[in-house]
Structure 1
């Protein structure tokens, strides 16, 4: 088959994958969306109980809305939905409209070029992609594609509790005592009257801390410890009133109130080296010898991209973030976190492997600053480029909201409130930004 007659394969039927499919549908480009889960936005469904800090207007892609316009669908206009409401109010209707373009239970296990492994130069760009798929039932198969958009996200690969980026000693053996997702705190019996340790400094960690603190306010036998790796708590509480997403700014401000009120014990400089157990209770041991014994441990230390199934492609990724090199400096929390990062498009996301793009949260690698709006702009630009509309691909159609957070990540081992150099007026609280679900 002629390469240009082949479909564009989109990996993942989450928010950005569905948006990509909507843009491709508008341009009449044949499309196959491969989703490992059994329904649309399967990863979002796993945190469906969590409320987003982005309002409805920031959660709906323009092409998705246009595709839905003829179905009688009405866009929710106000409020902050939970993940489940995002699915029911927008993502599931969009997936239903896209219909058989989406294949569920289809896990991508490899992407390469037809007849070419990673080493072969000759004719590489002229060969179609081969996408190897492991279905939920039946035998593995492969598809040919003219282009591949990887919108698979990072949800399946959470970071470990270990402070050096690897699982702490004993962490794997005690995994049954640890949770790497924001728990559904409607299951109050699992937490009330118990001691829970939350590890992490981003919005997901803050969301968990707030829910637990509310339980502690009702029940004095419920205790909460918030363990931060950094030596100072200065980066833990957000941009406050300076954040242009008010619900995001309120998260950190409320967390500070609960810490000040004694509902949450804040422990800084706690870098987990080992996890052991006392019966059914996990024990965290820090590099400096301090210990925390808990009934429950919730590890919310961010996510990382799964690059294993892309090993036969030629990718140019930043060595620190594992993000496309052209956007890495914009999103690296070691460099800065002031205001909003720039919108990114096809030119920023292009790889040495022509017509392959990482989009969505995966395009940010390990950086914790991704917003749904960013991904929607990415896929708009990428699809325009693939359709030959280079002018539209170059155009920027997005202004991102400021975080109200300034001055970078600060000095990791600083004992004071070091900000590493200010780029705008310093707010009363500063934050190392967290990622989805609480930062969508």
Structure 2
């Protein structure tokens, strides 16, 4: 416990130092220092690490809002990338940064929001918050949880983290392997419900929002969408517009700072690229420019999940770094997905590769090979598209299972 508390303080100090020259760290510190808590008579508390976990847990959040309209909902984020984008979500009555995990902060925060239950998505295990919830007999649920043998819970030195698991009321897990790992530690309060992301992306694919100007840019041509890309991805992808001049390309980079956007544009053939923020400027004269415009660079956050509705093939970024981003948003529209080599931590990526509906590449030659096949072999493309669409549909239903369990608890 002593080492954990010291580690929390050292982590805060490191972020504080970084805040002087890093914008994200600055938001992390400033947001926590400036926020004022509102007191609630009771609430349902949802915590998300960042934006991806918010979207993952959103089906539960929406179901709770619909099922219990009179209940206040409090949402917390650990990361600015979640908080800054969803701080005004109408799904919550209050949105906060999660205060640092100390005994006093845990006690004061829980006293302010008075949760009837707490729902954490996928991961984020904070000892003092979990202990305080347990002390007050407040149910704590982990949804879309996933565990791997290499995690600290399963190490000889992971005693404190195993104690955290003991504070959880019920685990709703993504897969059977996670259940077996928890069972091995003696935890039987587990249900394999699947991943709520499938419900989220499936709902989005059934009614995607229209993105102004994209249909005009596409101009009835085939469209390749590169989502959540990093520079390592973009160096490979930049060769495609030259190789496939009959196709259109949309690049939606993970980071949209001016320097990052300009670096991406400089990789692409001159005179063929337009930023989304500038699309309106050429909208009135888009028809005369359409033959020259082959690439559209998205310089905002929030539209990627709907952009996939316009595409035929998707590339998902991050696979040359820490790991790939969300493949399911594209898969729900039946788009074959391509990604880099670092995908093993992601169940859906492994399963898509096994189905031959997802494809991992390590270099430009492999990228060109799979793109060539998808473009030129219509039968292969059609079969792949159907496989990936069915895969998403068949994995929906986690939200219903979780809500049925929680409804029983709420009625007690």
TM-score, normalised to structure 2, is 0.31
**Higher relative contact order, chain-length normalized (CA < 8 Å, sep 6+):** 1
TM-score, normalised to structure 1, is 0.30
Structure with a larger share of its residues in helix: 2
